Amino acid sequence: MSILSGKNILLGITAGIAAYKTPNLVRLLIKAGANVKVVMTPASKDFVTPLTLSTLSKNPVHSSFVNEESDNAMWNNHVELGLWADYFVIAPATANTLSKMANGTCDNLLLATYLSAKCPVYFAPAMDLDMYKHESTKTSFETLESYGNTMIPATSGELASGLVGEGRMAEPEDIVEFIENDILDQLPLRGKTVLITAGPTYEAIDPVRFIGNHSSGKMGFEIAKAAADFGANVILVSGPTHETVSHSLIDVKRVTSASEMYDVVHQFYTTSDIAILSAAVADYRPKNVASQKIKKKEETFSIELEKTKDILKSLGQAKSNQFLVGFALETQNEITNAKGKLKSKNLDLIVLNSLNDKGAGFGGSTNKVTFITKSEEIIEHELKSKAEVAKDLMQQIIKQHA
């Protein structure tokens, strides 16, 4: 999954021959998981049709303040379009439009939307060689960048005039890659590796039976998504769960038992910057595992159990520069028990939730948590979706880790 997944992208198209590439750009943005709307200058419709773009984006295409062909015309709200967008991409951006943007000229819907936009703006210049090198065009570039806009550099190649040189709009694939990398470079966890555990572990009794718990793994998977959204490279070690995730920054390692999870976690721990152990690891496992299915014969049946390896404690002992986060699921003396775990396992932060709180715990889509920091600061949160809890957790980690 791309970092653009779920983002609202407004694509502005101006009247340059490179507009013929924009249907492919729309297609690639949609493929990356983005929601796309298109706003065009009136003259750009001579180069690419609104019908093509609306079909690909699955949204109406806007090019004027009102639809003059309709008797029930409604005003196309440029403010609303600007506020909808998470990112505004103007491609191709002609010398004419760039000059107007730089000087605050507002004579069409695209320019009005640009002046209303509160989101990051990217522009991909497209023009002939002499226009690209003209001092007024260079001034437009410099002015727009001084306003906080980001230029996607033009490339060299054969131009519409037959000249060869700079001014060719970047290819759609390169535009998408440029935007993705630029967004990632600005995220607070860019270049960091976050190790996360999720789900239960199953400890075998015989080939068909096991000791386990009700953990769905949803909380750990949401934490992985939130960490990736903040730019981290995520290694997600998951016990048996139906949860899935598809993200270019998340590498899922599937395990079954506590012993397997211990081995995989330690394999990646030394190269991790942050470790978040949200998995509900079994505390005990059968001391002897039957090689064949155990038959039902006696009225009672006993299983001798032995402790599993304490993964969290072992990481606390091996910690060098890692920021280590643990979870505590309690039913009584919650704060006291969580503080004890925080200290005994050498954690930097512990996430406490109580089965006494309605909507918290295993299986559901919500959670109610309390963060306790290494300095024993207590930060309580209201009942929220697990996705919101995951975001809160990552923001707390960034705050402490920074």
Cite the active site residues. Answer: 213
Report the chain's C-alpha Rg in angstroms.
27
User: What's the first-to-final CA gap in the chain, in angstroms?
Assistant: 27
| Residues ≥6 apart with Cβ < 8 Å to 224 | 194, 196, 198, 234, 236, 245, 247, 250
CA angle (305 as vertex; 300, 310 as ends), nearest 5: 155
Q: Specify whether the CB–CB gap between 55 and 49 falls below 8 A.
A: no
If you ran DSSP here, which 8-state letter would residue 69 be given? T
Pairing of strands 233-238, 210-211: unpaired
Q: Could you tell me the CA-to-CA distances from 132 to 22, 129, 162 in Å, in that order?
A: 20, 5, 15
Q: Specify whether the CB–CB gap between 230 and 224 falls below 8 A.
A: no
Rounded Cα distance between 313 and 100, Å, is 61
If one counts every other C-beta atom within 10 angstroms of the C-beta of residue 104, the result is 9
Question: For the range 368-372, what are the long-range contacts, defined as Cβ-Cβ under 8 Å and sequence gap of 24 or more?
Answer: 369/393, 370/334, 370/335, 370/338, 371/396, 372/335, 372/338, 372/339, 372/342
Burial of 88 (0-12, 13-18, 19+ CB in 10 A): buried
**Closest-CA residue to 345 (of 315, 309, 371):** 315
If one counts every other C-beta atom within 10 angstroms of the C-beta of residue 399, the result is 10
